[in-house]
Amino acid sequence: MDESQVIKESLRDELNQFDIYLWKSLENNNSRISEILRHAFKVDGKRIRPMLVFLVAKCCGEITPATYHGAVTVELLHMATLMHD
């Protein structure tokens, strides 16, 4: 197992919770937009950005609900830049 897998495994619970926050943030009333967002986020990414957010939060204290919101914001911004290109 390489280092990235070790880190990902150590953050497994946080990443599972992150997925819940992420999918909840994508909920909306427009079925067409919901379909597009589900398709865009269906790909199982490496989750590097959320992992960095969680590691920094752990180094600085603890992971709170605000940490999850921050991680989701970073991931949404990243996805928006990919879609824009």
Least confident of 17-21, 22-26, 34-38, 63-67: 34-38
HEC per residue, 10-74? HCHHHHHHHHHHHHHHCCCCCHHHHHHHHHHHHCCCCCHHHHHHHHHHHHHCCCCHHHHHHHHHH
Cβ–Cβ < 8 Å for 72, 23 = no
User: What confidence tens digit (pLDDT) does each residue in 63-85 have?
Assistant: 999 999 999 999 999 988 887 76
The structural domains of the chain, with segments of one domain joined by +, span 3-84
Cβ–Cβ < 8 Å for 54, 67 = yes
Cβ–Cβ < 8 Å for 5, 20 = no
Q: What is the pLDDT of residue 39?
A: 81
Q: What is the pLDDT of residue 85?
A: 62
